[in-house]
Structure 1
Amino acid sequence: MSHEMIALLMCTSLLVLLLTGQRVFGVVGFVGAAASLFLWGNGGAEMPFNASMVLLNWFPMLTLPLFIFMGYMLSESGIANDLYKMFHVWMGSLHGGLAIGTVVLMVAISAMNGLSVAGMAIGTSIALPEMLKRGYDKKMITGVIQAGSSLGIMVPPSIVLVLYGMIARQPVGQLWLAGVFPGLLLAVLFIGYIVVRCKLNPDLGPTLSLEERNSYSTAEKFALLKAGIVPLVIVFTVTGLFMMGVTSLVESSAVGAGAALLAALWKKRLTKKVMDLSLHKTLSVSCMFMWIILAALCYGAVFDGLGAVHAIETLFLDQWGLSPWGVLIMMQVSYIIMGMFLDDTAMLVIVAPLYIPLIIELGFNPVWYGVLYTVTCQIAYMTPPFGYNLFLMKAMAPKEITLVDIYNSIIPFVTLMVIGLLLIMIFPQIALYLPQLYYGS
């Protein structure tokens, strides 16, 4: 059997086994280990084992549980809720002000947690009921929450970019900096759309009533401002210390976790229940990512041993006659198709052993490509019929919001994200400017 057929058989086996509903890391690790035993006998088991041991020697792995703990502590202690109350009072006098505040909230939650699920949970539990109560168009606000929460895998400290960095063997610090401007670009596109739509049709985002605006005294407004700024200060302190070179990546994550803990203690919200929930969720998510990375390294080692990357390169460039940009576009399309059925980590684990070495062979910057991957994942999350965010929103939203409403709500935001993706592809410096400025070319 040729190496190409073996690689194809591994990919096919992986997809078929994923359809059984088994855990992603179990399927990926099993296929990698079974293939190595089949190809090289008993000694072949050492290849995936040695590859997985790389993870245990990778010091930046410590950032994963610390940043996750920071996000859950800020969320479970209610400090993130304070941020929305601040936006609610200070921006409610604008048409679409709460929707704009929700996008900013999603960016802030992303910076606290690095996971899109956290932003979605907070958006649907806090922002959505408030905006529905105040007469906001339900299609607009469901689209805002889905699009805004998807920024969680783009804005530092993005856990998905940490995962990409580990599998692609790229520096996480550069990936985080590369995600800053693209994440802000998408946020600005979303806010610009809300402003224009609400300007043309004010009924989509009505202002707070004069009575409600006057119900808060000046002192209360500034108290809310003070409370809402606390989580933002924590995030910018962590990022600022890292960019100024005061702390390393791991030290920044420790600063963030410690600051979140002290903030909850200062606000007298550090209860046993909050601590238990934060630790339990941190352990659960951290272990999930650890197992996935171990399985991905195991699977990738077998691909490297097969030389499958060179076989795929020959197929795309020599036999199919695709240009490097044609290959790149085909990769992005494949992410959108897979994103209808899989989450970001599963997609990355399946295709990373093929795509990332090929990207480097074609002369593209792997840090830049990491940003393209995350933006494309965001689009895939929101693409019917089986987008991950679509069903997550349906599960969390009230009954009055139908699946058809959710499908219709994402059309303008997916369009804006495609525009953002094209801009980053045409102008790579949008992603690469900060890493090059900080780390040098």
Structure 2
Amino acid sequence: MSYEMIALLMFSSMMLMLLTGQRVFGAIGGVAAVAALALWGTGGSDIPFASAMKLMKWYPLLTLPMFIFMGYVLSESKIADDLYKMFHVWMGPVSGGLAIGTIGLMVLVSAMNGLSVAGMAIGATIALPELLRRGYDKRMVTGVIQAGSSLGILVPPSVVLVLYAMIARQPVGQLWLAGVVPGLMMATMFVVYIYVRCRITPSLGPVLPASERNVSRAEKMRLLGAGILPLVIFAAMMVPFVNGWTSLVESSAIGAMTAFLAAVLKRRMTWTVFETCLRQTLAISCMFMWIILAALGFGAVFDGLGAVKAIETLFTERLGLSPWMILILMQVSFLVMGTFLDDTAMLVIVAPLYVPLVAALGFDLVWYGVLYTVTTQIAYMTPPFGYNLFLMRAMAPPEITMRDIYGSIAPFVLVMILALALIMVFPQIALWLPDYIYGR
């Protein structure tokens, strides 16, 4: 059997195991282990051992539990509730103001957590009931929350970009900086769409009544201070890192400690909250480590087979596709896989194949990490099985049907596709900030 056929058999076996409901790390790691033993006998056992050693020696991996802990502290201590109250008061007089404020909330939650699930949970539990109670269109608000929560995997400290950095062997700091401008650009595009749409059709996002807007200046400033707190925490973490005063791991520890102290000073760090944060941090960190370990093992077998070189030859020489055509096909494949897989599974499945191929085609791997992340955001919201669609269905009240959820995401998906096209055509949207910071 040729190496190309072995690689195809490995990939199809892995997809079959995933479709039967197996855990991601079990499907990927199991196929890699069986293939290694079948190809190289007992010597194949060195592959998972070497992958485990590589994982344990990767110092930046220590950032993962730190950022996850920081996100859960800020979420469980209800600091996000203060954020929404601030947007409620300051944005209420504008048509669609609360929906615009929800996007702002999602951006700040993303900067606190780095996971889209956290943004979805906060948006669905805090913002959704308030928006519906004030007469906002249910399709509009469900689309806003789904689109806003997707920013969590692009805006730093994105946990997904940490995972991509590990697999693609790229600097985490550069990837985070590369996600800043695209993330803010996409959030701004969402805000512009909401504002224009609500100006055209005011019933979609009515202005708050005067009785709710009449808040004293002192209360407004107090709420503004509460909303600025997450920015202070983010600045305390990122400014030393960007200026080269601390390493990435040290900055992540500063962020986790600052968030913990903020919760203590606000008298919200109870034993129950602390225990919940630790348990969730341990669970998610272990999940990511098992997935990374499986992906490294699978990638090592793929490299040993020379599968990447064979596929590159197939695309460029036999089929005669240009590098840009191949890149677009990759993005389309992410959209298809996103109908039944989450971002982590998509990355670890195709990274052993796509990342070396992207490098061989001459594209920048930091820029491609942003492209992958934005495409994943779109795939999260694409029917019939988009990840965010079912999260929203699980968290939304009964009056919001699956039909409403499907109908709500169409305009936001179009906005995100436009953003993806802009980043592809103008790579400096993603690369300008890391080039500026690291080029000084």
Range class of TM-score, shorter chain:
over 0.9
CA–CA distance in structure 1, aligned partners of residues 226 and 348 of structure 2: 40
Counterpart of 2:5, as a letter, is M
CA distance in structure 1 between the partners assigned to 2:437 and 2:273 by the alignment: 37
- Structure-1 residue corresponding to 2:256: 257
SS of 1:41's equivalent in the other structure is helix
CA distance in 2, matches of 1:228, 1:417: 27
For 1:17, the aligned partner's letter is: M
User: What is the 5 A alignment of 1:40-79?
Assistant: 40-79=40-79
Name the residue aligned to 1:206.
Answer: 206
Q: Determine whether 1:358 maps to 2:344.
A: no
Cα offsets for 1:243-301 (capped at 9, x unmatched): 12222111110010000010001001110011011111111111110110000001100
| 1:28-81 superposed Cα distances (whole Å, 9 cap, x missing partner) | 111111100000000111023212311100110000000000000000001111
Amino acid at match of 2:160: V
What CA distance in whole angstroms lies between the structure 1 residues aligned with 2:79 and 2:28? 38
1:234 aligns with 2:233: yes
Q: Is the contact made by 1:178 and 1:367 (CA closer than 8 Å) also made in structure 2? A: yes
1:225 match: secondary structure: helix
What CA distance in whole angstroms lies between the structure 2 residues aligned with 1:178 and 1:226? 29
Residues 186 and 420 in structure 1, CA contact (< 8 A), matched pair in contact too: yes
2:128 maps to what in 1? 128
The one-character-per-residue Cα deviations of 1:89-108 (angstroms, maximum 9, x if unpaired) are 11111111111110011011
Report whether the alignment pairs 1:422 with 2:424.
no
Question: Which whole-Å CA distance do the structure 1 matches of 2:311 and 2:48 have between them?
Answer: 21
The residue that corresponds to 2:26 in the other structure is 26
Partner of 2:329: 330
Task: Letter of the 1:232 partner, please give it.
Answer: L
Is 1:8 the counterpart of 2:2? The answer is no
Separation (CA, whole Å) in 1 of partners of 2:203 and 2:419: 28
Pairing 1:117-156 to 2, within 5 Å after superposition? 117-156=117-156
| 3-state SS of paired residue (1:270) | coil
Contact persistence 1:36–1:48 (CA under 8 A): no
Q: TM-score, normalised by structure 1?
A: 0.99
Aligned-pair distance for 1:192? Answer: 0.4
Q: Name the counterpart of 1:271.
A: 270
Q: Distance in 1 between matches of 2:132 and 2:380?
A: 24
Aligned positions, number: 440
Aligned to 2:115: 115
SS in 2 for 1:66: helix
Please give the residue correspondences for 1:77-96 in structure 2 after superposition, counting only pairs within 5 Å.
Answer: 77-96=77-96
Structure 1 unaligned blocks of 5 or more: none
Question: Could you report, residue by residue, the CA deviation over 1:341-385 in whole angstroms, capped at 9, with x for unpaired residues?
Answer: 100111111100000000000000000000000000000000011
| CA distance in 1 between partners of 2:106 and 2:50 (Å) | 39
Following superposition, the deviation at residue 201 of structure 1 comes to: 1.1
Aligned residue in 2 for 1:400: 399
Return the letter of the residue paired with 2:145.
Answer: I
Decide whether the 8 Å contact of 1:48 with 1:302 is kept in 2. Answer: no
CA distance in 1, matches of 2:286, 2:98: 36
Deviations 1:198-246 (A, max 9, x none): 11111111111111112x3222221111122111211122122211222
Residue type of the alignment partner of 2:144: V
Paired amino acid for 1:391: F
Deviation at 1:21, TM superposition (A): 1.1
Counterpart CA distance in 2 for 1:19 and 1:327 is: 26
RMSD, matched Cα: 0.9
CA–CA distance in 1 between the matches of 2:130 and 2:165?
38
8 A contact 1:63–1:250 mirrored in 2:
yes
Counterpart of 2:162 in structure 1 is 162
**Deviation readout 1:159-200 (Å, 9 max, x if unpaired):** 000000001111110100000011011001100001100111
* Same amino acid, percent of matched pairs: 69
Please tell me the residue identity of whatever aligns with 1:440: G
CA distance in 2 between partners of 1:101 and 1:372 (Å): 26
**Deviating runs (4+, > 3 A) in structure 1?**
none
Amino acid across the alignment from 2:199:
K
- The equivalent residue for 2:348 is 349
User: Which secondary structure state, in structure 2, belongs to the residue aligned with residue 219 of structure 1?
Assistant: helix
1:301 matched to which residue of 2? 300
Letter in structure 1 aligned against 2:131? M
Structure 2 counterpart of 1:320: 319
- Which letter maps to 1:437? Y
Q: Secondary structure at the match of 2:95?
A: coil
Partner of 2:383: 384
Q: Please tell me the residue identity of whatever aligns with 1:375.
A: V
Residues 67 and 256, structure 1, Cα contact 8 Å, conserved in 2: yes
| Structure 1 SS opposite 2:397 | coil
Could you tell me the TM-score, scaled by structure 2's length?
0.99
1:247 partner amino acid: T
Match of residue 434 from structure 1: 433
Does 2:102 align with 1:102?
A: yes
